[in-house]
Structure 1
Amino acid sequence: MTFTQLEIFALVAELQGFTAAAMRLGISQSAVSHAIKSLEQELGAPLILRQQATAEVTEVGQRLLTRAREILGLAEAMRQEVAAARGLNQGLLRIGSFGPTASLKLMPAILAVFHKRYPGIEVQIDEGGDHDVLQWLLDRRVDVGFVVLPDERFDTVPLVEDQLVALLPAEHALAERRAISVNDLADVPYILGEAGCASLMQPVFAAHGISPKVRYRISQIMTILGMVGSGDGVTVMPELALPKDMERAYPQVALRPFRPAVRRRVGLALRDLRQASPAAKAFIDTAREVVKTLA
């Protein structure tokens, strides 16, 4: 069993294909197939089910995948430690990001400073919903992820705090108020989005004994804003996830705060801060510094 075999296996699993993995690594597809076959023969179990268009990880393969990513992560940390000792900044940093708060508001500002300080470090960013980032951290697919706090499963670093607001059609009766309560959303069509608040609003609704009448489940914020403006329902979003020019771009959408306020904290999470790579620790330090200027 070699690091190369584990790297190829992890990439085939992530990209769900031998051809895609070969293109990413710059090697032939036959070399990828040979590496997987040799690994399977050594372990005595099939790891990848070869489908016509995709590759699916077997149950045994899923168990090995987490271990493989752990080994590869430790190997990468070792390489970065040696590079740091030699005065070099090299390596790979994998970041999980969700929604506009992380991807549009925080990430560009943090990466701008990070790349100036550590130009030799390659950054790979995976974007998804709140739950995706959490799963990627558990699966060791990413080294550090933007998450909604608190989360006791990980070591976390708080970055910013904002409040959740209700977005209503401008002609809706609730839009006539300066602020609304969570209970006001009990009997209106609700658009459920994943922008850093889906998991947070669920316990808030439960605490008020509310089961929102979900009409749509949508992941893209621009689509949600368009549907709210068209009168298809109401939704809840964090302030930091919203466009800066909300009033001009979406005049048919009314934004109203909750009273009492419903707040959200966003931060970075790692499986184990003590074992984090130098690149991950440098990113955390940079993020802490940058968010102070954003505030």
Structure 2
Amino acid sequence: MTLTQLEIFSLVAELQGFTSAAHRLGISQSAVSHAIKALEQELGVTLFRRHQTLVEPSDIGLQLLARARAMLGLANTLQQEAADARGMKRGTLRIGSFGPTASIRLLPAILQRFRAEYPGIEVHVDEGPDRQVIQWLEERRIDVGFVVLEQERFDTFALCEDQMVALLPADHPLTAQDALPLRALCDDPFILTEAGSSELVSRLFAGAQLQPKVRYRCAQLLSTLEAVCRGDGVSVVAQASLPCGHDSRYVTRPLLPSVARRIGLAVLDRRQASPAALAFIEIAQNLTKASIFEPAHLSSKHSSPARR
């Protein structure tokens, strides 16, 4: 059994295909098939079930997949620690990012500084809903991820916070109020953004023992914005996730009482985090302290430094 075989096994499971994995790795499909066959023969089990053009892990394949990803993660940490001893001239950093807040407001400036300081580190960025970033962390598909705090299952590092706001059509009667209680948003059809802080929004209403009339569940924030602008309903979103610039078609109002959303970085285990991941976290915290992030409503929040 080799790390290369485990990497191929993990990628085939992720992409659900031998051809897709071969394209991603830059090798032939026959090489992928050979590696999986050799691994299955060595372990004495069938790792995948074939369904026409797609494949999926078998029951034992799923069980072994978690172990394989853990082994690959530890191997990557070993490589990174060796790279750290050489001044981090080589290596790989896998980052998980979600939504406009992380991917547009925060990540570009952090990446620019990181690449300037560690040009030899190859950076991979995967984007998805915040709950998917959490899943990627648990499965060791990424080394570090942007998350909405608190996340007790991970080691986390706070970066900044913004406010949750009510999102209303420009001509809605509630725009006459300076701030809105959650109860005021329960009479209209409600639009829930699945890709945003949907769990936080759901917890807010549940904690207040309220039930919004959810009419739409939008996969993207832009879909939520368009639905609100059409007058299809109201919503609650994070202020920093909204596009920069004024749009006369919708209005935001603070919640009453105010609700903060804290953004940070997370690793599965700080003690096993790679030097590259810790360096990325340290740069992110330093930039937050310097207040370089826009817009201004992203205020900095700090935790202990990332360096061990």
TM-score by length of 1: 0.96
Q: Residues 64-143 of structure 1 correspond to what in structure 2 (within 5 A)?
A: 64-143=64-143
CA distance in 2, matches of 1:102, 1:195: 12
Counterpart for residue 157 of structure 1: 157
Q: Residues 1-295 of structure 1 correspond to what in structure 2 (within 5 A)?
A: 1-245=1-245, 247=246, 250-292=247-289, 293=291, 294=293, 295=299
Deviations, residues 4-26 of structure 1 (Å, cap 9, x unaligned): 10010011111221111111111
CA distance in 1, matches of 2:213, 2:284: 38
CA distance in 2, matches of 1:231, 1:135: 34
CA distance in 2, matches of 1:123, 1:54: 28
SS at match of 1:237: strand
SS at match of 2:158: strand
Shift of 1:196: 3.9
Letter in 2 for 1:255: T
Aligned residues: CA RMSD: 1.2
Shift of 1:88: 3.8
Shift of 1:30: 0.6
* Deviates most, 163-172 or 188-197: 188-197
CA distance in 1, matches of 2:25, 2:189: 48
Shift of 1:87: 2.7
CA distance in 2, matches of 1:118, 1:238: 32
| Contact kept? 1:76, 1:277, Cα under 8 Å | yes
Deviations, residues 141-192 of structure 1 (Å, cap 9, x unaligned): 1111111110111110001111100100111111111111111111210111
Letter in 1 for 2:260: R
Which has the larger helix fraction?
1
Letter in 2 for 1:60: I
Amino-acid identity (%)? 57
SS at match of 1:78: helix
Letter in 2 for 1:268: L
Instruction: Please identify runs of 4+ aligned residues in structure 1 that moved more than 3 A.
Output: none
Deviations, residues 28-75 of structure 1 (Å, cap 9, x unaligned): 101100111111111121111222222211221111111111111111
Shift of 1:195: 4.6
Deviations, residues 115-139 of structure 1 (Å, cap 9, x unaligned): 1111111111111112111111111
Deviations, residues 184-229 of structure 1 (Å, cap 9, x unaligned): 1112101110354211111210121111111111121112111101
CA distance in 1, matches of 2:30, 2:282: 42
SS at match of 1:187: coil
Letter in 2 for 1:173: P
Letter in 2 for 1:93: L
SS at match of 1:94: strand
SS at match of 1:46: coil
Question: Measured at CA, do residues 196 and 273 of structure 1 come closer, stay the same or move farther in structure 2, by a change above 3 Å?
Answer: farther
